[in-house]
Amino acid sequence: MIIGKNIVKEFGDPPHRILHDLSFVIQDGEFVSISGRSGSGKSTLLYIISSLDFPSSGQVLFDDEDTSLMSVEHIHEFRTNHVGFIFQFHYLLPELTGLENVLLPPRNIDRVDEFRDRALELLKTMDVSKVADKLPSQMSGGEQQRVAIARALIMKPKYLFADEPTGNLDSANGEVVMNILKSINKERGTTLCLVTHEEEYAAMAQREIYLIDGRMSERG
Ligand SMILES: Nc1ncnc2c1ncn2[C@@H]1O[C@H](COP(=O)(O)OP(=O)(O)O)[C@@H](O)[C@H]1O
Ligand SMILES: [Mg+2]
């Protein structure tokens, strides 16, 4: 369970408030979308929920553990083992093949060999086995994003965070990626937190956190 308690985020000096006192609970296995217009604070909130950034005040608790109080080593271990990230731009390393990119997280902790079969399996599930030995520059945008999803799943994360994962794709590929994310949530029980400005995708979630200028709101 993820609990957000009175999350405030400010940037700059003098401080400019971007997120205003946001509180929410995300249950294990839930699919929650964060939606709102460009600049409403969606990415800022996702980075804070996912432990990539910290609130200026307030708390994020993962099963009662406050991310701001975790040691640097612990938070690295937590992100590596329990959290998967997918972004609008795939951030695959250009000099590595599809398979090598999927194996990056285990490579960082020296456990490549034990994850190789799973990586191949995930590429197959994402229907991109054929790009296992190709470089990102030799893949289509949809293939690159599916490799990035396989990489996000390689460590069997409990939580999956996605920031506009379809933002750079045409609508056909966008739909493929959304269906993959939905089925990961449903079949593996992975908690899914999805940022999108597309109403249609936001509505696929069990629950929508809708932001207007950094405040939670009903979609009006
Ligand atoms: N690191 C930062 N420093 C200063 N301002 C920031 C920073 N990150 C985001 N912002 C500002 O916070 C607001 C919300 O940004 P963001 O969370 O990226 O919105 P969204 O993802 O909904 O488009 C914007 O006005 C943006 O300029
Ligand atoms: Mg954003």
User: Which ligand has an atom closest to residue 37 CA?
Assistant: 1
CA of 20 to the centre of ligand 2 (A): 17
Structure-block tokens of residue 192: 């899914």
Q: Which atom of ligand 1 is nearest to the CA of 163?
A: 21
Ligand 1 atom nearest to CA at 214:
14
Residue 49: beta bridge partners?
A: none
Residues 6+ apart with CB under 8 A from 200: none
Nearest CA to ligand 1 atom 26: 39
Q: Tens of pLDDT along the chain (220 residues)?
A: 999 999 999 999 999 999 999 999 999 999 999 999 999 999 999 999 999 999 999 999 999 999 999 999 999 999 999 999 999 887 899 999 999 999 999 999 999 999 999 999 999 999 999 999 999 999 999 999 999 999 999 999 999 999 999 998 899 989 989 999 999 999 999 999 999 989 999 999 999 999 999 999 877 5
How many whole angstroms from 202 Cα to the centroid of ligand 2? Answer: 14
**pLDDT, tens digit, 9 for 90 and up, residues 47-56:** 999 999 999 9
Predicted local confidence at residue 220, as pLDDT: 53
Q: What integer best gives the mean pLDDT of the chain? A: 95
**Whole-structure pTM value:** 0.94
Q: Name the maximum alpha-carbon separation found in the chain.
A: 52
Please give all residues whose beta carbon lies within 6 A of any atom in ligand 1, as ranges.
11-12, 18, 36, 38-44
Counting ligands in written order, the one closest to the CA of 164 is 2
Domain 2-217 indexed as CATH 1.10.1660.10: no
Residue 6 belongs to what H/E stretch?
strand 2-11
φ/ψ of 145, rounded to 5, equals -70, -35
> Per-domain residue ranges for the chain?
2-217
Determine the Cα–Cα distance for residues 150 and 159; give it in Å rounded to an integer. 14
Phi-psi region of 164 (alpha: psi -120 to 50; beta: other; left: phi over 0): left
Segment 8-63, tens digit of pLDDT? 999 999 999 999 999 999 999 999 999 999 999 999 999 999 999 999 999 999 99
Q: Distance, CA 163 to ligand 1 centroid (Å)?
A: 13
Q: Give dist(CA 208, CA 219) in Å, integer.
A: 9
Residue 68: strand, helix, or coil = helix
| Nearest-angstrom CA–CA distance, 128 and 3 | 35
Contact 3, 27 (CB under 8 A): no
Ligand 1 centre to CA of 39 (Å) is: 6
**119 Cα–ligand 2 center, Å:** 29
pLDDT of residue 218: 74
Q: Considering every ligand atom, which ligand is closest to the CA of 18?
A: 1
Task: Choose the residue to mutate in 18, 33, 197 for probing ligand 1, maximizing ligand atoms within 8 Å of C-beta.
Answer: 18
